[in-house]
Structures are given as structure tokens and as C-alpha cells.
Amino acid sequence: MPFFAALCLVACSKTGPKATSPEAQPVVSSPVTKPAEAAPAALPDNPLLVESPLPLHYPQFDKIRNEHYAPAFEQGMAEDLKEIGAIANNPAKPTFENTIIALEKAGPLLDRVSTVFFSLSGANTNPEMQKLQRALAPKLAAHRDAITLNPVLFARIDALNSARDTLGLDAESARLLWRIHRDFVRAGAKLPAADKEKLKALNAELATLTTSFTQNTLKEVAASSVFVDTKEELAGLTDTEIAAAAASAAKNGHEGKFEIRLVNTSGQPPLTNLTNRATREKVMAASLARGSRGGEFDTRALVTGIAKKRAERAALLGFSTYAAFSLEEQTAGSVDVVNKLLAQLGPPAVANARREAADMQVIIDQEKGGFQLAACDWQLYAEKVRQAKYDFDEKQLKPYYELNHVILDGVFFAAGKLYGLTFKERHDLPVYEPTVRVFDVFDADGQQLAIFIGDYYARSNKNGGAWMNAYVSQNGLLGNLPVVANHLNIPKPPEGQPTLLTHDEVKTAFHEFGHALHGMFSHVKYPRFSGTSVPRDFVEYPSQVNEMWATWPEILKNYAKHYQTGAPLPPELLAKVEATKKFNQGFSTLELVAANVIDQAWHQLKPDQVPDADGVVAFEATALQKAGLDFAPVPPRYRSTYFSHSMGGYAAGYYSYFWSEVLDADTVEWFKTHGGLTRANGDRFRAKLLSRGGSENALTLFRDMTGGEPDIKPLLVRRGLDAAK
């Protein structure tokens, strides 16, 4: 893995390429089996200092302790700088081998400790790791600057890049040289010395600010639980859910009460079923207030600090705004293209959402509710409308969506049909948390392809959302095969109860495995291009395509079976699922467009336009109003104060889910018109796209796969926006 990857792992709720933004912090997690002790200067038994002897260099989770990280980081940075110094000061004339290949091989120890530490910081963190993460953020930023702003090293890279066409390089090698040169330029390598010093200071500040934001957000979502005194206040929840709420409250020192834990989105899962409006109001109020109500977890000053420092950094690098800087690297290409995309989606989404709200208000009035629909009511009354219109309640699906069946007989079964993969669970490799599962993955020829880690349950020390990360990335240069992980946040049921998923959670399982396939099928020479190392607005595309198999009849029939009787999902129920695909799409599109507008609004500011902390809420409201998206019953999916994507690795890039969906919708239509679930289609997708990583232009890969240009029309049809007024 190249040195960039060692320093800048991805921070996202889903997943993405290794970020080149200096402040991007990784979202990964590592097991800690013992409490931290005072870390000695060197620990002779530190498992991070050596390559793991386990299969495919799978991490030694059972041996890694908190005190191993700091000395491994210190030694890793020292060794990395020594290797980089040798490359920069090599008296020999720069060649592709002694400069570019050497850079790709540099820093294996720093890569190893960074990958494990930041992976586990997202999936299984603890106070000691969080403290170290805060201390490491500016150090790693400075370390990266010491490399990218080294004028002697850049002179070698620049000379090679100028002669790129005369070096006789193969296509992937030529692209690697171009890519590394561009990475250095965007990191400030061409700046004058005084500006480089300014940039170093900005990078250190941003690293500290974004780390604090991520940690505050995680801590506050854990501290924002709503407690109620009686079962009546939880009316609408199942007995199992109520028992789990009581057990959670008791575990957290509130014996006799009931705890409703929050997730990091604005909407909260219990709102779909809670019939007590006072409880719904409490839950929604607690959710929307996060990060903006004062106290130790308030993030408003962090939001404005991040926005201002990013704007200053972009200006220093010669860009009008941070969005312009960020989008230059994406397949969308410019701020204008992204703004146009959001403008196409916003008005029809609002129109559809208002129609959906009117349908709900009719039911409220029929029930003599005596109130106007609010954000806390939407999820409950959307289900009532669905039931009234389609005689369908989504809760009817849950008994057919048991976790083990979804993964083994759904997600894995689809991968077998499409790509010929087989999976074998193993219990001899260590895990960082007892519920984590490990599988060997075998290719169609019986050869091992990868190791897959499944971490499916929510925990208070685990980031919200869902994501994929690679513990080991495939590449031919070092001969590595991939070790990849999926992380979901499914509530863990009480002991002895089945884990039953919502329809959205099933889609998420397929989605995240799409990212895993992108990592496992990687077949590139250089670490810089491995797996999901593609533009941010392209990385979600293959995973969104994989969602299509969740409801493909042959796949659904294989996994959607009643957890008690084994009976298949009734055809009439499946017909209702299909009939309601466009249901509530006004809401789901609007909440995402609103979040996108907020993300772009912060990152399309110049430094002197960024408001102070007290102006964060008003700035967000004004941005939504200007875009015509200020519809109170549908708040943004994330508000600024807990928008981890925007303040983390997806800065000015949250639109990528929509952009990827444009590509995805086109590709789904291609699959449908070419026979659907066949090995031929799977092998084509693998060969032309999934295996290529970042080794070729992303849109070229899309065109080679589909034979055409991206078209927004399939997306509009899918979301029911094609006829919206």
C-alpha cells in the first residue's frame, strides 16, 4: 500500500477509496482485549511490528492491545521517513523503479498499524484509543506534509512525469506516475516555501478538528438516549423491543426505565412504530438537537472551524472554494455539474413529499388526531398510508428476513450465482468482538480469493451507519490477497431471540457486500489502485448495483423464509413489495437532497463567508430555504452538527450517492436487458469494472461496461420523479 493510504484511510458511513484529503480520518476498528497500560518506548512482543503470520496477513486481533499502537506508530513514522529520505536523496538519476515503485513499497509498518488502528477506531473504539487518535491526528498530518512537501522528492517525481511518454511504461504504470504526481501537486508540492508552512499549519488544525468532530458525534449519539418510565409510552413496539429497551436502561444505570437509543441519522427507527406521540416528539427532538445544545459534545464551533480551514486551504492551493478543489478530482468534475444535479432532484422531490404529507394528514384527521403532521410523525403515518393504499405493512416482512439467512442464503448465494464464489465460515481466526464472523472466500476455480469479516451488530463504541474497509488490500506488487470487512448497525436482540431485519437493513447488507466485492475482485498491480481506490463519486456505484439482487426473484426465494416455519415469502407479499418501490420516495429523496445542499453550502463558501458557531443553525436553515427544500416534516437526513460524512471524508462529496445512483440505475437496466442473474453478466461486470480499481479512468470503465453515457432518466423513473411537478 502506498504511503498516502497509510496516512489517509477513508472516513465514511458506507465506504470509499483511500482518501487523499489530509484531514480525512479512517473509520475502522480494532479489537482491544486488555486495558491500556503505560506504553514503553518499545514492546518486544508488539504484534504490529511484524507482518501477521496468519492467513493472508489477517490481523492478530487477539494479541493487539492499546499500548501497542503508540510505539508502533512512532516506529512506523520513523521508518517511513527514513525510506522516503533514501528515495529523495538517491544520487542515481530518477527512474520509475527507484522513485515511483519505491514510493509504493514505502512505509509497510505505518500502513499496518494505521489500517488496524483506524479500522478499529470506527468499529470497536475505547477511551484510550480515542485519546491516542486525537494526539495522532496532527502528527500524521505533519508526517504526510513532510513527504508531499519535500522539494527534493517532488523534483524526482516531476522530472519523471515530464518524461512519462518516453519511459516505455505500460498503461497502469503510466497512470500510477500521473496519479502520484497529481497527488503531490494537490497536496501543495508546487507552493512557495512560505505557503507550504501555512499549509502545514492548516493541515494540522484540520486533522485535530475533524477528529474531534467524529468523536463528539459518536459520544453524543450514545449520550442522547431517550428514557421513559412506562411501557405505555412505548406503545406500538413489540414485546421483544420493549424488553430490549428495559435491559438497555438497566445496563446503563436506569433500572425500571426504558431506553430508546439513537442512531446517527435524523430519523430514528422506533418512530416507525411508536404510537405515543409524546414519546415520538421526545425522540425526534433529541435527535435533531444533537451537537447544537451546548455542553461538552456541542459541535457548532467544530463545524465552522472545519469549513473555514478547508476554505483557507483551498484558496492557498488556488481554488475558489473547497468544493471546487474537491470536485476537480471526481467524475462529476465541477461545482456546476453537482449543483445542476441537485437542482434537477430537489423540486420534484419536494412536490412528491408534499403529496405524501397530504395523504398522511388525511389519516391523522380521520383518526381525529388534532395535530398537523410533523417530522416525528412521518415514519409512523407513512406506514399507515402504505397499509391503506397497498394493504401492506412493512413489519410483515421482518419474520422472513433473519440475519443468517439474509447473509448466507441471500448475499453469498447471489455472489455464487453471479461470480461462482463459495464461502466457508471459519472459527480459528481471532476477532475483536465475539459476534464478528469470518469467512474464507473461494473463486470459481476453487482457489482462495479473500477473507471476509462480517461485523453486523450495533454497539455504543461503534460508529453509526454501515461501511466496508480493507485490512489487507490486493496488489500484484507485494503479492497480497484481500482481507475485507463489512460493518452494519443492526440492533442486537435479547439472548435467544432471532435477528430480524427491516427491508432497508437487507438492502444495506447487499449494498455493503457490493463494496466488499469491489475489494475482493481487485486485480491490479499497484497498491495505489487497489479495490475501492476510485473517485469518491464512483465508489458507491458498484455497491448500489449489488442492491438489485436483494429483490431478484431467484435470490429472494432462496433467503426470504419465515424464521419459525421456513415458509417462503408469499408471492402476494412480494408483489406488494414491488408495488411499493416508489412509495415514500418524495421523503427519501428530499431528506438526501437537503443533506447534499447543506454539504455543498458549507464547502462552497470563501473563508470570510463562514459564519461563527452561533450562526450554524441559521446558516443551514437559509441554505435549505434558498434551495426551496425547507419543508419541516422532512428534515435533512443529517444536520450540520452531526453530519459525519460532510465534516469527514465525504467533504463536498455527499452528492456521490446520487451521482453513483445515476450510474447504478443505468447499469441495472443493462443487467435486466441482458438476461439478469447470469454468470456471463457477473463475469463481465467483474472483468470490466470490479477488478480494475482505480487503474483506469472511472467513466471509461462505466462506458466499457454499459456501452453508453450516464443518463439521469432511469434514476428519475426509479424514484418516481419523472412525472413529478
* CA 116 – CA 272 distance, rounded (Å): 37
Strand partners, 500: 402
Name the active-site residue from 233, 512, 540, 620.
Answer: 512
DSSP string, 102-127: HHHHS-HHHHHHHHHHHHHHHHS--H
Q: Are strands 483-490 and 448-457 parallel, antiparallel or unpaired?
A: parallel
Residue with cell 412536490: 351
* CA 207 – CA 591 distance, rounded (Å): 29
Radius of gyration of the chain (CA): 25
Q: Are 323 and 654 in contact (CB under 8 A)?
A: no
Q: Are strands 467-472 and 422-426 parallel, antiparallel or unpaired?
A: unpaired
- Angle at the Cα of 519 from the Cα atoms of 518 and 523, rounded to 5 degrees: 90
DSSP E strand stretches across 418-522: 422-426, 437-442, 448-457, 467-472, 483-490
Residue 484 φ then ψ, to 5°: -125, 155
Element (H, E) at 221: helix 193-223
* CA 186 – CA 164 distance, rounded (Å): 19
- The alpha carbon torsion through 75, 81, 83, 85 (nearest 10 deg) reads -150
Instruction: Write out 468-480 in H/E/C secondary structure.
Output: EEEEECCECCCCE
Q: Are 184 and 148 in contact (CB under 8 A)?
A: yes
* CA 590 – CA 22 distance, rounded (Å): 31
* CA 199 – CA 46 distance, rounded (Å): 35
> What is the DSSP secondary structure assignment for residue 561, as one 8-state letter?
B
Active-site residue, 512 included: yes
Q: CB-based contacts of 372: which residues, under 8 Å, 6+ apart?
A: 361, 364
Rama region for 84: left / alpha / beta (φ>0; ψ in -120 to 50; rest): alpha
Q: CB-based contacts of 53: which residues, under 8 Å, 6+ apart?
A: 60
In the chain the first and final C-alpha atoms are separated, in Å, by 49
The closest alpha carbon to 13, from 540, 694, 451, 470, belongs to 540
State how far Cα 703 lies from the chain centre: 25
Element (H, E) at 258: strand 258-260
Q: CB-based contacts of 543: which residues, under 8 Å, 6+ apart?
A: 14, 15, 468, 511, 512, 513, 514, 515, 518
The closest alpha carbon to 584, from 272, 343, 262, 285, belongs to 272
Strand partners, 228: 258
Q: Give pairs for 79-87: CB < 8 Å, separation 24+.
A: 79/107, 79/109, 79/110, 80/3, 80/6, 80/106, 80/107, 80/109, 80/110, 80/143, 80/147, 81/143, 81/146, 81/147, 83/107, 84/3, 84/146, 84/147, 84/150, 84/153, 87/153, 87/156
* CA 299 – CA 476 distance, rounded (Å): 43
DSSP string, 634-655: S--SS-GGG-HHHHTTTTTTTT
Could you list the active site residues? 512
